Chain A
């Protein structure tokens, strides 16, 4: 079962910040939170990841609560090309490697 829950859909006006929430209340202390997006049945694209500190890169910012039970992905200035399904994933360890367990994601629609 997925370890994350996300709202099924969100709308955002072009040029505004898009804030996508994710709950991961059963996350373990050494499990990372990853965010990917998938545009129209292409392969998922990596956005950002973090453990407990807030992270920022050229695409987005990731805010993780102090108890690590939830996080928010922030796209600071959404464009039409950011319309996609966004997945919040907890990466779990398995047999010497790691695996993702995907949930259903949030379908973000950026409106002109």
Chain B
């Protein structure tokens, strides 16, 4: 257990569905991250939030919509996804000091039909 939880762990959705991924960290960190990991590809950083403010959007399509209501919670709202969006979605958090590390959640395995 890293102190970062993600729900659901598995999700199957159709291309017309709307769903949300949830991430919660119990570590008192101020920065949170969404990553996407497709099969046989490196982890891709999607979004960065620092003190609830989005500081980075790594050219992510608008069908992915993040929300950070407070420093402990991060959501990824999904709508009209494509089959190629099927991947493992990982959340991480960190306390942004000079030499801190990121703590990763277990991920949500998303399948888009």
- Taking Cβ atoms with an 8 Å cutoff, the residues of A that contact B are 2, 32, 34, 36, 41-46, 49, 51, 87, 94-105
Which of B4, B56, B100 is A94 in contact with, Cβ under 8 Å? B56
**Residue pair B42, A95 in contact (C-beta under 8 Å):** no
Name the B residues within 8 Å of A101 (CB-CB).
45
**Residue pair B42, A99 in contact (C-beta under 8 Å):** no
**Residue pair B90, A102 in contact (C-beta under 8 Å):** no
- Tell me whether A97 and B50 are in contact in the complex, defined as CB-CB below 8 angstroms, given that A44-B90, A46-B102 are known contacts: yes
Give bound CA distance, A51 to B98, whole Å: 10
- Give the dominant DSSP class at B's interface: strand
Give bound CA distance, A40 to B80, whole Å: 29
Name the B residues within 8 Å of A43 (CB-CB).
2, 4, 90, 92, 104-107
User: Smallest CB–CB gap between B34 and chain A, Å?
Assistant: 12
**Residue pair A41, B107 in contact (C-beta under 8 Å):** yes
User: Smallest CB–CB gap between A59 and chain B, Å?
Assistant: 12
Give bound CA distance, A104 to B44, whole Å: 11
Contact with A along B71-113 (1 / 0, CB 8 A): 0000000000000000010101010100111111111010000
Residue of B whose beta carbon sits closest to that of A32: B99
Give the bracket for the number of chain B residues in contact with chain A: 20 to 34
Give bound CA distance, A45 to B88, whole Å: 15
- Give the dominant DSSP class at A's interface: loop
**Residue pair A99, B104 in contact (C-beta under 8 Å):** no
Name the A residues within 8 Å of B48 (CB-CB).
94-95, 97, 99
A41, A51, A87, most chain B CB atoms within 10 A: A41
User: Smallest CB–CB gap between A32 and chain B, Å?
Assistant: 6
Give bound CA distance, A91 to B81, whole Å: 30
Name the A residues within 8 Å of B92 (CB-CB).
43
11 CB < 8 A contacts A-B: A32-B99, A43-B4, A44-B90, A44-B104, A45-B2, A49-B101, A96-B50, A96-B55, A97-B48, A100-B43, A102-B42
